[in-house]
Amino acid sequence: MVHVGAPLSAPSFLGASTPRARRRASLLPNLTRRRSIMASLGDDPIREWILTEGKATQITRISPIGGGCINHASRYDTDSGSFFVKTNRHATSLKLRIGPSMFEAEALGLSAMYATQSIRVPMPYKVGPLPTGGSFIIMEFIEFGPSRGSQSVLGRKLAEMHQAGKSSKGFGFDIDNTIGSTPQINSWSSDWIEFFSEHRLGYQLKLALNQYGDSAMYEKGQRLMKNLQPLFEGVVIEPCLLHGDLWSGNISCDKNGDPVILDPACYYGHNEAEFGMSWCAGFGGSFYSSYFEVMPKQPGFEKRRDLYMLYHYLNHYNLFGSGYRSSAMSIIDDYLRMLEV
C-alpha cells in the first residue's frame, strides 16, 4: 500500500514554480491513480487479498466454475498462479443465516484434513465478508484429472486420514457447520451414540416435524434413537476426523491421478459414519478392501450401514422434499423391527 504523507494545500502546490515543486506536481496524477486503485481494491476484498497476500500483481482472467447449487465458484488466474474462489451473496436461507461462519467452518475443516497429510484437499487461504452482503473463501486451485482415479487408492487414503485425525475432546467439532445448506450441530460429546442421536438424527427429525408436520416419522425416529445401543455392542469407537459429506460430487483426482476430496462438513465421529452417503458415492469393492486394510472392519458393520445412511436421507428429505421420505421411513421401520422396539 502506498503511504502518503500530509497533503499540501492546493494553491501553494499547484502554483509553485521551482523545479522541485514542478516535480511534485507531475506526481499528482500518479498519486491520484494509486489512491483510486487502492480504494477500488477495498471494495473488492477478493481482489485485494489476491493482489497483496496472494503475491499476484495482475489478475489475468476470472472464469466461472459450475457444479455447486449453494455457492458461486470461480477460478482466478493470475501471474502468480490460480486461485479457487467461492462466494455466497445471499444473506439468508430458509434454515440458516449464511455469513462468513459458513466458509469459516469449511476452512477449518479443510485445514484439519490438510494437516493429516493423507488425502489431498485444497488448502484454504482467506475467508471474509463481501461488502454487498454474503461472504467468500479463497483456496488453492487444484487442476483435476480426466477421471475420479483409483477406488483402491481413495479407500486407503481416506482410511489414513481417519487414522491420523483424532480428537482428545471427543465427538464433535470446534464450530457448527452445514450439510448442504442445513445447519450441522457439532457440540462436543464424550458419547458417540448420544452425539449421533441428538445432533444428527434428532436434529433432522425435528426439522421434518417443523417443516412438514411429519409426526409419524418423528415418533418412530425417537423410538429408534432411544434404542441404538445394541447396534454398537463390542465396537471400539474413536473420534476420527470425517469429511462428513462424501458423495461423488465431492470426490475427484488431480492431474497425477491422486484422489482429492472437496466441500467438507467436517466433524470428529465414528469412522463408519463417513460412508453415510455411499448410496450416491459409487464406492466399490476395491475401495472398501483397501480401506479396511488400514482401518479394520468392526463387528456389526453391515448392521450399522443403513443407520448412517439414514442421517443423509433425512437431510435430503428436509432439503429436497418428499421424494426422500420413503427411503428414510423404510430404514427407520427396518431398524424398529430388527431391534424389536
Task: Report the catalytic residues.
Answer: 245
CB-based contacts of 290: which residues, under 8 Å, 6+ apart?
Answer: 151, 152, 153, 154, 155, 156, 159
Please check whether residue 287 is in contact with residue 177, taking contact to mean a CB–CB distance below 8 angstroms. Answer: no
d(CA 176, CA 174): 7
Pick from 273, 297, 290, 292: nearest CA to 156: 290
CA distances to 102, 172, 184 from 167, rounded to whole Å, are 22, 9, 18
Q: DSSP secondary-structure letter at 322? A: G
Pick from 137, 157, 140: nearest CA to 68: 137
CB-based contacts of 47: which residues, under 8 Å, 6+ apart?
Answer: 41, 59
Please check whether residue 306 is in contact with residue 211, taking contact to mean a CB–CB distance below 8 angstroms. Answer: no
- At residue 67's C-alpha, the angle toward residues 66 and 70, to 5°, is 105
Please check whether residue 35 is in contact with residue 4, taking contact to mean a CB–CB distance below 8 angstroms. Answer: yes
d(CA 190, CA 85): 36
